[in-house]
Amino acid sequence: MESILEQIERGKLWSIPGGVHPTPNKASSTQQPIKRLPLPESLTIPIKQHIGDNGKLLVKVGDFVLKGQALTEAAGHWSVPVHAPTSGTIAEIAMKPSTHPSALPEPSIVLTPDGEDTWCELAPWPDFYAKSDQEIIDRIQNAGISGMGGAGFPAYIKAQPKNEIEFLIINGVECEPYISADDMLMREHANELIKGIEVLRKLYQPTKILIGIEDDKPEAIEALTKACENDHYTQVCAVPTKYPSGGEKQLIQILTSKHVPQGGIPADIGMVVHNVGTIFAIYQAIFHGKPLIERVVTVTGDTITTPCNVWGLLGTPIKFLLEQNGFQPQQWQRVIMGGPMMGFTLPSVRLPIIKTSNCVLAPSAKEMPMPGEEKACIRCSACADACPASLLPQQLQWFAKSKEHDKLEEHNLFDCIECGACAYVCPSEIPLVQYYRVAKAEIRQEREDKVKAERAKERFEARNERLKREQEERQNRHKRAAKRTTDEAKSKVEEATKRVASNDKSAAVAAALARAKAKRNESGEPDNSEMAKLRAERKAQARAYKEEKPIASSRGDKKDAVAAAIARAKAKKAEQAETANDVTTDPRKAAVAAAIARAKAKKTGNDAESQNADTQAVDPAAPSKDDPRKAAVAAAIARAKAKKAAKEAEPQNDDTQAIDPAAPSEDDPRKAAVAAAIARAKAKKVAKEAESQSDDTQAVEPAAPSEDDPRKAAVAAAIARAKAKKAAKEAESQNDDTQAVEPAAPSEDDPRKAAVAAAIARAKAKKAAKEAESQTLNTQEDESSVHKINGDIEGQTEPKDAINNDSPAPLEAEARKKAAIAAAIAKAKAKKAKQDKGSE
């Protein structure tokens, strides 16, 4: 059985499924050789004219460049540079419409030719065999060569396949109607093409080189057969004319009977396919050092006067090409980039020629009528019969319209080569290829979004992991610090415990504090158990000390306390007497008297304290040596009483200052109201004086009993307090009477103001009575505390019934007398105030 190679050498060809036979319409553009055109006024060179990333700009606006000079350099994945098609100045670098059905703007360089067409320095390699494969590949990349058959795949990527190459296939089929650029290139430059093939032979080391040409191009077949007649590795194969036999996968199947796997590339089965235009560009780059700056373009159609093939500089406006070939536009004129099967209508004729532009078709309306309105599918299956990829175009169209992308992929949408054979045979004029293109774009976008989402997810997860690690590190640092703190606290506790063991009180306290801090660090809550233990120890020591100390039974302590109380009572009585005498005559003198009384009270308190200290120092029976704490208690009581007397004198001074304003004249009713207020203040002061006198009586009486019987003194004090309380109540009732009379005092000019003043006076008098009562109660509490202290000092406690049986009559009579005097004084003051208001 013959091998595939033997069958190929014998000239056997295989067939492909589907396909159509449209009218070629190639003869009109092959009647004259490829011609050159003059330079256009400007060239617009897109930075990206291939599949892959944009190059990096090397020029700026205003730079002068030479022909063939690199304008960009390769940067990124699958990137090749672009070069200056002629010498001139960079006029602009901006976003310009792209040569695409959408005409979306893309970065472009606008070059203004200088007309000289001066080349830059070139570096040809006539003996390329002396160069390494990598050097050749770099030269192909730096020359900016990409696939010129329509895909725009960078040639240097194909020049370094991963697998061993068995067949190198040169695609010269050019099955698209109207296009004859490759045909004319093979006719005129067959020898150059063979030299370019030799460069690829050095790189691939293939077993066989196959040149596929359709059998409707006899001149091209003859020229190439003659050029390689002495080359046994190269074979020219005449392929039957059928569209789309020029497709990469279809041509491999026709020449070798092999199928490219779904989703794979020809290199996966040991094959590489290059277009004849790409081979010619490689020849120029290696043997002449020229970059890719021009290509052969077919300009044809019924509206073109002289259809032909031209060398079009990259960046030449399409309008310029049409005008140079006698373009005569018609109404609703269309211009198509590419052939009628796979080309697209240009949105503008000002778009430039790029590396993949092989034809500019300007048909008339009769030659290529506009497609009719899309109709419903009649399920004729003509599209499925014409599909060269054995797909189901009708089913794919339904899925594309309903955007069922998963089912589109299940039905192998991406195996479609967009040849347009299905749309060509559709009787309903359904633009099937357009549906497929839109669906492919949507699926690609979904894939890109999915990839971006996966990358974002990976970044998010990586970030979370990083944050988690950082948090764990922080927690570990805190744990280590807490452990160090705990260890230090434990060491301090141990040291403090040692100090406690040595009977050092300060060390015991420090140890307790240290243990409390340690427990707080561990649990966050204070632990006072240690301090409680220390307090219990101190209390036990105090009790032991108290039990060991003998009880002092000397009467010197009682004498000292009695002497201090007598001194305080005399001081307070002297102050109240002076104040009472002075206030009746002049309120200003009363203020002075109050200040003097406060000073005397303070002095009396100091004298009492000094006397107490002297008594303790002189009296041999004093408890200074035996019990100094009792003497300190007595001195503290004396100081407290002296301060209280001084504070009681201050309100009197304030009242005196309130009374001080000058008396109002009889002519002004407002002054009469002021006078009424002053009168009410005087009444209030009289009530306070009566209460203070009652307090003095209560303070003096506890000291009256004889020194021989302290219990009688307590009885007398109780009686005095009762009398004082009764006198205070009588004074309060008199004040109420005075307040009842006072409302008539205001002048006759304004009775309403007088009524208001009287109401205010009553409220003030009632408040003064309440304050007097509270002061009486405070005095009683102070006296009870004094008696309690005296009882503690004596260390004796007896029933109250035994005390009440002995009540001295002289002290009781004296108390009643003083209470009557205080009440009389209060009544006189109130009466005088009332008279003053009436006279005013």
Tokens of 97: 């419409």
What does the alpha-carbon distance between residue 360 and residue 301 come to, in Å, rounded to a whole number?
A: 8
Which residues is 208 bridged to in the sheet? 167
Which residues touch 686 (CB under 8 Å, ≥6 apart)?
A: 735, 825, 826, 829, 830, 833
CA distance 612 to 564: 7
- Phi and psi at 426, nearest 5°, equal -70, 120
Judged by DSSP in three states, 297 sits in strand
Query: Helix (H, G, I), strand (E, B), or coil: what is residue 116?
Result: coil
Residue 607 tokens, joined: 């004298």
CB atoms inside a 10 Å sphere around CB 602: 17
Identify whether the C-beta of residue 624 lies closer than 8 Å to the C-beta of residue 616: yes
Helices 669-700 and 751-794, axial angle in degrees (round to 10)? 10
What does the alpha-carbon distance between residue 400 and residue 78 come to, in Å, rounded to a whole number? 30
Run of H or E including 292: none
Block residue for tokens 């004296």: 814
Greatest CA separation found in the chain? 166
* Residues pairing with 317 in the sheet: 352
User: What are the CB-based long-range contacts (under 8 Å, 24+) for 622-626?
Assistant: 622/554, 622/556, 622/557, 622/560, 623/552, 623/554, 623/556, 623/557, 626/550, 626/552, 626/554
End-to-end CA distance of the chain: 155
Rounded Cα distance between 235 and 682, Å, is 142
3 state DSSP class of 671: helix
Q: Give the CA distances from residue 767 to residues 131, 306, 533, in Å, rounded to whole numbers and listed in that order.
A: 122, 127, 52
Q: Is 422 annotated as a binding residue?
A: yes
Please spell the DSSP secondary structure of 178-217, one letter per residue: T--HHHHHHHH-HHHHHHHHHHHHHHH--SEEEEEEETT-
Integer-rounded Cα radius of gyration of the chain: 63
Task: Output the six-digit token pair for 757.
Answer: 């003043």
Question: What does the block give as tokens for 351?
Answer: 């778009």
Angle formed by the axes of helices 669-700 and 710-741, to 10°?
A: 170
β-strand partners of 235? 210
The CA angle 691-692-698, to the nearest 5 degrees, is 95
Rounded Cα–Cα distance for residues 726 and 384 (Å):
129
Pairing state between β 56-57 and 35-36: unpaired
Q: Which residues contact 44 (CB under 8 A, 6 or more apart)?
A: 96, 108, 109, 110, 111, 315, 317, 352
H helix or E strand, kind and range, residue 112: strand 105-113
293: amino acid identity, one letter: I
The C-alpha atoms of residue 265 and residue 273 are separated, in whole angstroms, by 10
Question: 529: how many CB neighbours lie within 10 A of its CB?
Answer: 11
Q: Is 377 annotated as a binding residue?
A: yes
Torsion angle, alpha carbons of 200, 204, 206, 210, to 10: -40
Close Cβ partners of 259 (under 8 Å, ≥ 6 residues apart): 249, 252, 253, 269
The answer to the question of whether 387 is labelled as a binding residue is yes
Beta-strand pair 294-300/359-361 = parallel
Residue 120 assigned to a binding site: no
Half-sphere exposure (Cβ direction) of 163: Cα atoms closer than 13 Å? 13
CB neighbours of residue 191 within 10 Å:
14
Gap between the Cα atoms of 173 and 238, Å rounded: 9
Query: Where is the binding site for [4Fe-4S] cluster, in residues?
Result: 377, 380, 383, 387, 416, 419, 422, 426
Query: Where is the binding site, in residues?
Result: 377, 380, 383, 387, 416, 419, 422, 426
